[in-house]
Amino acid sequence: MAVGTLVLLRHGESVWNAENLFTGWVDVPLSEKGVAEAKRGGALMREANLLPEVVHTSLLRRAISTANIALDAADRHWIPVRRDWRLNERHYGALQGKNKKQTLEEFGEEQFMLWRRSYDTPPPPIEPGTEFSQDADPRYADLGPDLPLTECLLDVVKRMVPYWESEIVPDLRAGRTVLVAAHGNSLRALIKHLDGISDEAIAGLNVPTGIPLRYDLDEDLKPVTAGGTYLDPDAAADAIKAVANQGR
Ligand code: DG2
C-alpha cells in the first residue's frame, strides 16, 4: 500500500536548453516553449487529480517559474513552498556557458559523455570571478568555502540525499502530496536514491522537461512502481531520447 505521493518535475525548457548550452548554476529563464511545457505539466496534474500540498524547488528561476506556472494551472498556486540550493542543478564547472555540440566536437564522445553522465568525474572547475561563476551571488553567501566550483553526480547525491531525508521525507510522512520542481541532474540524483540504481546504470537515465513523474511510495519510502509513472508516458519517451542525444 502506498503511504506517500511524490511528484518530480524537471523545469520546462530553458533558453539555454534551447541554445544547447551547459547551464548548471547559471540562472537562465524559461523559453516560450518551456512556459508552455510548465502549463501543460500543471494541467496534467490537475487532470490526474494529483494535487500537491507542498512544493520544494531549487534556487534557480527555471525551476521556480516552472513550479509557479504548473501550480497555477493546477489551481494549487497557494500551497507552501520550500527552496534550497541542494535541489539546484549539478554545478557544471568550467563547462557552464559552453555549447554542447562544440564541446563534443572539441573533446570527443568519450570525454563529453564522461563529463555529462559519468557518476564520479566532475568537469574542470570554474574560475571564481568569471562570467558564469557564482562566488559573488548573494543567494549562496552562507555556503562560504562549501560553494561548489564543479560537481559530478556523486556530489549531487551527497547534498541531495540529506535534503531528501531532513526536509522532504517529513512532508511525505505527514501524508502530504509533495511536488519537487528541480533539474535534470538533481532529479537523476534523487531517482538514483529512490530506485536504488547502480552508479553505472544511472548513466543511461535521462529526465524530460515539464512532464510530471509520479511516485507512490510504501512505508519504507520505496517506490511501489520502479521508476515511477510519467503522466504523459508517450511524450516522456520521445523527450527522453532527445535529452540523451543532446550535443549530436
Ligand atoms: C542541464 C542538464 O540542466 O544538462 O545544466 O545543461 O536540467 O537545469 O536544464 P537543466 C544543464 P545535461 O546534463 O543533460 O547535459
C-alpha cell at 49: 487529480
Pick the residue whose CA is nearest to atom 2 on ligand 1: 184
16 is in an annotated binding site: yes
Does the beta carbon of 183 sit less than 6 angstroms from any atom of ligand 1?
yes
Ligand 1 center–CA 171 separation, angstroms: 27
Query: What are the start-end ranges of the E strands in the chain?
Result: 4-10, 54-57, 81-83, 177-182, 213-217, 229-230
47 is in an annotated binding site: no
CA 169 to chain centre: 18
Does the beta carbon of 24 sit less than 6 angstroms from any atom of ligand 1?
yes
Query: What are the start-end ranges of the E strands in 106-248?
Result: 177-182, 213-217, 229-230
Does the beta carbon of 184 sit less than 6 angstroms from any atom of ligand 1?
yes
Q: Which CATH number fits domain 12-217+234-244: 3.40.50.1240, 3.20.20.70, 2.60.40.10, 3.40.50.300?
A: 3.40.50.1240
* Residue 231 and residue 214 in contact, taking contact as beta carbons nearer than 8 Å: yes
Does the beta carbon of 132 sit less than 6 angstroms from any atom of ligand 1?
no
Question: Ligand 1 atom closest to Cα of 117?
Answer: 13
CA 33/CA 161 separation, integer angstroms? 31
Ligand 1 center–CA 16 separation, angstroms: 9
Ligand 1 center–CA 241 separation, angstroms: 14
Per-residue pLDDT of the chain (248 residues; tens, 9 = 90+): 677 899 999 999 999 999 999 999 999 999 999 999 999 999 999 999 999 999 999 999 999 999 999 999 999 999 999 999 999 999 999 999 999 999 999 999 999 999 999 999 999 999 999 999 999 999 999 999 999 999 999 999 999 999 999 999 999 999 999 999 999 999 999 999 999 999 999 999 999 999 999 999 999 999 999 999 999 999 999 999 989 888 77
What confidence score (pLDDT) does residue 1 get?
61
Pick the residue whose CA is nearest to atom 3 on ligand 1: 184
C-alpha cell at 193: 536514491
Which of 152, 183, 206 to mutate to test ligand 1, by most ligand atoms within 8 A of the CB atom? 183
Which DSSP state fits 167? I
Task: Output Rg (C-alpha) for the chain, integer angstroms.
Answer: 17
What confidence score (pLDDT) does residue 194 get?
98
* Residue 119 and residue 199 in contact, taking contact as beta carbons nearer than 8 Å: yes
148: burial class by Cβ within 10 Å (0-12, 13-18, 19+)? buried
What confidence score (pLDDT) does residue 223 get?
97
The dihedral built from the CA positions of residue 147, 148, 154 and 156, taken in this order, carries a sign that is: positive
Listed by start position, the domains of the chain span 12-217+234-244
* Residue 231 and residue 48 in contact, taking contact as beta carbons nearer than 8 Å: yes
Question: Sheet holding 81-83: strands in order across?
Answer: 81-83, 54-57, 177-182, 4-10, 213-217, 229-230
| Partners of 230 in the β-ladder | 213
Which of 22, 25, 109 to mutate to test ligand 1, by most ligand atoms within 8 A of the CB atom? 22
**ipTM over the 0.90 cut-off:** yes
Angle at which helices 153-163 and 184-195 cross, to 10°: 70
Active-site residues: which are they?
11, 89
CA 21/CA 12 separation, integer angstroms? 15
